[in-house]
Amino acid sequence: MKIYGSTISPFVRKVVVFAEEKGLSVELVPTAPGDTTPAFRAISPFGQIPAMVDDDFTLADSSAIIAYLEAKHPDPVLIPADAQARGRTIWFDELADTVIFATGRTMLFNRVVGPLLRGVPGDAAAADKAEREQWPPILAYLEQAATGRDFLVGDGLTLADIAVTSALASSLHATAPVDAASHPELARYLDAMLARPAFARRLEAERGFLAKVRSKVA
């Protein structure tokens, strides 16, 4: 299976980690969003990442790919069948995409992607405002959600954990680590999630890549 994109994107990382937690072998093909090459557009007509090739089947969009993988490879279960558990899992997935990373994207683009990877000036004021006004309520909610829990839904790993951790991991490339003094439960939970091999391998590679880019810019 080939996944096109960069795992600095939380959506790409979410798919890659989801697949690897299923025990699937994944080849990551480095691809920037909006790539216009005909071969990539044949897989992802609007240039979205992630995109997937699985044998002769192609698909774009993280939610679509994850739904496909869960249906094709049902064990281990990462999207629960129970109605309430499934609803909570999808809620956290949506929260990760549209709330956590909506704020994280502002910081990541203006502090990392724009100035370091695309060579365009970032809007420091916008990043600072997002960090100051929007980020604290997110951390406060996740502190409450993680309190006394190893997993966000039920007693085992689900898409909820993968999605939230992926959104946080991308955001944390551009903001301070979660403070264990002010958010001890979230810090504990996140440390455990990021120590899982599927996350740890990808984040090590991402940090190494960004360190090289920063050294060249400096």
pTM for this entry: 0.95
Give the pLDDT band (50/70/90) at residue 173: very high
> Could you read off the pLDDT of 31-48 as tens digits, one per residue?
999 999 999 999 999 999
Question: DSSP of 11-54, one letter per residue?
Answer: HHHHHHHHHHHTT---EEEE--TT---HHHHHHSTT--S-EEEE
Is the Cβ–Cβ distance between 44 and 51 less than 8 Å?
Answer: yes
Give me the pLDDT at residue 117, please.
Answer: 87
- Judged against a pLDDT cut of 90, whether residue 154 lies above it is answered with yes
- Judged against a pLDDT cut of 80, whether residue 171 lies above it is answered with yes
Give me the pLDDT at residue 184, please.
Answer: 98
In the three-class reduction of DSSP (H, G, I as helix; E, B as strand; rest coil), residue 75 is classed as coil
* Averaged confidence pLDDT in the chain: 96
- Judged against a pLDDT cut of 80, whether residue 218 lies above it is answered with no
> Could you read off the pLDDT of 124-140 as tens digits, one per residue?
999 999 999 999 999 99
Task: Give percent above pLDDT 70 in the chain.
Answer: 100
- Judged against a pLDDT cut of 90, whether residue 91 lies above it is answered with yes
| CA torsion angle 95 98 99 102 (round to 10) | 150
Kindly report the CA angle at 157 between 88 and 25, in degrees rounded to 5? 120
Give me the pLDDT at residue 216, please.
Answer: 81
Q: For residue 76, say if its preceding peptide bond is cis, omega within 30 degrees of 0.
A: yes
